[in-house]
């Protein structure tokens, strides 16, 4: 039996490729610069997308995230950049945007997310299972894509 296709993951992948394309011409310095009026930077936003997706999908299901816990803790909501992210780390973050999406799609076809812990997010949305989460993630990522585009205009 073929794997089930999840349109939400297709949307997530398209969003992440669009974010990568929008940021590909930014230098390491630009990616690390915190524009006036913001409390974080472009690379923090990209890493935050990974950390959030890992925590929401894997962490809330009692599964080990695909990235180190220190990564999730460094880029979880409420954090801010604590130092410069190197060019090498930036490339790793960009690669993780795609590889974690691919692995999520694979894992959705298993029972990995059957023990999801329901919760209410900071917007008051009830997220009771992995289906709720994979429907929510593109909304969250689109919001951060907007932040990235606003920052990018200030970095020129």
Q: Where are the domains of the chain?
A: 7-154
Provide Rg for the chain, Cα atoms: 15
C-alpha to C-alpha distance for 44 and 5, rounded to whole angstroms = 30
What pTM did the predictor assign?
Answer: 0.95
8 A C-beta contact, residue 63 and residue 114: no
- For the segment 66-97, what is each residue's pLDDT rounded down to a tens digit? 999 999 999 999 999 999 999 999 999 999 99
Q: Which CATH architecture has domain 7-154?
A: Up-down Bundle (1.20)
pLDDT the model gives residue 14: 97
């Amino acid at each position: 039996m073929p794997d089930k296709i999840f349109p939400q993951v297709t949307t997530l992948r398209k969003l992440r490729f669009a974010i990568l394309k929008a940021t590909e011409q930014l230098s390491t310095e630009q990616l690390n610069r915190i524009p006036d009026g913001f409390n974080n930077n472009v690379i923090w936003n990209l890493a935050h997308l990974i950390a959030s997706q890992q925590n929401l999908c894997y962490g809330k299901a009692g599964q080990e995230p695909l990235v180190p816990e220190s990564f999730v803790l460094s880029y979880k909501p409420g954090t801010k950049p604590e130092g410069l992210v190197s060019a090498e780390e930036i490339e790793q973050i960009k690669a993780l945007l795609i590889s974690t999406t691919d692995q999520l799609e694979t894992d959705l076809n298993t029972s990995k997310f059957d023990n999801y812990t329901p919760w209410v997010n900071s917007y008051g949305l009830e997220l009771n299972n992995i289906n709720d989460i994979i429907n929510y993630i593109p909304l969250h990522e689109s919001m951060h894509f907007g932040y990235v585009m606003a920052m990018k205009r200030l970095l020129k």
